Chains A and B, each alone.
Chain A
Amino acid sequence: MSNGPMSTTKKEMGDTRAPGDAPHGLHEHVPHSPVFAGARRRELDELLTRYPTKMAVLLPALWMVQEERGWVSAEAMAEVAELLDLTPAYVKGVVSFYTMYHQHPVAKHFIQVCTTSPCNVCGAEDVVKALLKHTGCEELGVQSPDGRYQVIEVECLGACGFTTPLMINEKFIESVTPDTVPELLATLN
């Protein structure tokens, strides 16, 4: 099985990927090693003391998975489900609701550009064009041929006075203009 069970089902049903998702073919099957061992397990146990239910730790646990692995695989969802007394289907339901959890691996530099109205009136679409041009990405959501970049448009990042804001992985960058795109990309390794 080259894909997780979820993605195989998806493929049979037709491609319903969100633009930010990677092509299914990139899912190399790697045996799942538990995320919650050692320090991460202790971190999770500490978090459990903060809430009256185990379920409340679901979002933080999924964040830990993504920090460790870069995305949230079906196997990781099953692991989280087991730990928090939930079903894998329930966890999948929650993961798919939130846009920041990646259900497929993403490029090394995952670039999310805000193009909602306040940024839009200040030229965010030109920033997107410049990013596509300088990263070599053919279109939004599709990784660059070298697999280094992936650019998506996102809804309001909440930094409307600092147009155009974008996120590169977990890094928040303000006031990007088409002219500053090349130097910004040059800072990425």
Chain B
Amino acid sequence: MGFPHTPHERETLVLSQHFGVQEAIGLEGWRKRGGYAALEKALRMEPAEIVAIVKESGLRGRGGAGFPTGVKWSFMKPGDGKPHYLCCNADESEPGTFKDREIMRWTPHSLVEGCAIGAYAIGAAVAYVYIRGEYTEALDKMNAACKEAYAAGILGTNAMGTGKTVHVYVHKGAGAYICGEETALMNSLEGRRGNPRIKPPFPAVSGLFGQPTTINNVETLVAVPHILNNGADWYTKFGRPENPKSTGTKLFSVCGNIQKPGNYEVAMGFPFKDFLYDLCGGPLKGRNFKAIIPGGISVPIQTREEAENSPMDYEGFVANGTMLGSGGVIVIDDAQNLVKQIARAARFFAHESCAQCTQCREGTAWTTKILERIVAGDGTHEDLDTLLDIGEQMTGKTICVLSDSCATPVASGLAKFRGDFEALIKRKKVYMVPAQVA
């Protein structure tokens, strides 16, 4: 739905059905809408049963990687004598993505419930919700929701009267994109610099405080209560019949040069063309879409044709030259200087690099420098080769994928819109005028 919250008839409202409803923010209003029924049910089930249902539903991580949630949960072995932890990744900082923010500001109790179920399912007594520091409203709403849930006996050492212990604590970040990377998030939560850790060991073996840990995105966790309430079968029905690998609904954040930016929830596999032109109202008057980035700035750029052919699910985007990522749709139209925007994206990564790995620290900085000089009209054709060379050195060689993410828009931009780069180089400034021959 755009903003204000008027849903489009072709949306499938599950997670976002109460967006814009003031009453749904508080506990009373939330309970009236069926809130905490799933948690009550879950706490009376065996953790393994919950994991099995989530596995069956086909729910996949909504933060970007798309890893099957049930499988991730099954890596945690309840009863191994170690404290387990659940981290909810609410550090949403992928440019173009603002869905988790809307979930937390309108339906904070849905996240508290999702965290509580998730924690119980993986044998954890504590779930930490790591929210980026800039999300002041989301932080206030989540803190208030937790407080209400504790006061009502939903959380605590006797959660919903079952004698089970479930804590949900909000943890405020302090401004670092990299803390959205799961191992960096754990370091940050522990009170360290947000440097990603080398994997293995994977978080399920040694994560937060060195204990078995699962990290899930906000949108992933809020889908879980709906799956428990309605059953795995109900969830698998959303999606393209020919692609059972992507199920459920997905929130897409839409921004950039488009008529109706906002958060839209559609069933997996929805045609991207209809999404852009019908739901979001198409391009601004007198302009045309030029490039589309469908999954946050880290995924490859699509041409308009590629976008118009894409079904909106994990496999559909991969088949059309990009990835679903976090579902942050950035639309760039023909009035923009695309190279300038790629340079701006590179500057973002250079700023956000934690600087642990040389390839990333140097690569993001040089990529930015070269792109900015091309934009300024000082580029050469060799620069384009250098960019690709640097990009290759930045891919697959570092602890985390921030470095790869910086190389992606450059490589895909050069592959699909090389003419834009060359046009800037052709109008290269001439500093020395050859002497006139008499």
Contact = CB atoms under 8 A, between A and B. Distances in A.
A44 interface: no
Contact of B137 (A50, A99, A163, A172): A172
A155 B341 CA distance: 13
B7 interface: no
Contact of B352 (A94, A120, A155, A163): A155
A143 B137 CA distance: 27
Interface residues of B, number: 56
B193 to A, nearest CB: 4
A114 to B, nearest CB: 9
B311 interface: no
A163 B194 contact: no
A100 B134 contact: yes
Contacts of B297: 116-118
Contacts of A14: none
A99 B174 contact: yes
Contact of B344 (A55, A120, A163, A172): A120
Interface string B1-30: 001000000000000000000000000000
Contacts of B133: 63, 98, 100
Interface stretch (B65-73, B251-259, B271-279): B251-259
B175 A98 contact: yes
Given A161-B255, A161-B261, A156 B171 contact: no
B335 to A, nearest CB: 9
A184 interface: no
B171 A159 contact: no
Contacts of B253: 160-161
Tell me if A's interface is mostly helix, strand, loop or mixed.
loop
Contacts of B193: 93-94, 97
A59 B345 contact: no
B174 A161 contact: no
A59 B351 CA distance: 21
Given A50-B167, A57-B191, A118 B256 contact: yes
B213 interface: no
Contacts of B94: 156
Contact of A59 (B136, B174, B336): B174
Interface in B169-226: 169, 171-177, 188-194, 209
Given A98-B176, A117-B297, A155-B348, A160 B255 contact: yes
A116 B340 CA distance: 11
Interface of B: 3, 83, 92-98, 101, 126, 132-137, 167, 169, 171-177, 188-194, 209, 253-257, 261-263, 297, 328, 330, 332-333, 336, 340-341, 344-345, 348, 351-352, 354
The 3 closest A-B pairs by CB, nearest first: A58-B191, A100-B175, A98-B174
19 contacts: A56-B189, A59-B173, A59-B188, A62-B174, A86-B191, A97-B176, A98-B173, A99-B176, A101-B174, A115-B344, A116-B344, A120-B341, A120-B344, A121-B257, A122-B257, A160-B95, A160-B330, A161-B255, A162-B98
Interface of A: 50-53, 55-60, 62-63, 84, 86, 93-94, 97-101, 115-118, 120-122, 154-163, 167, 170-172
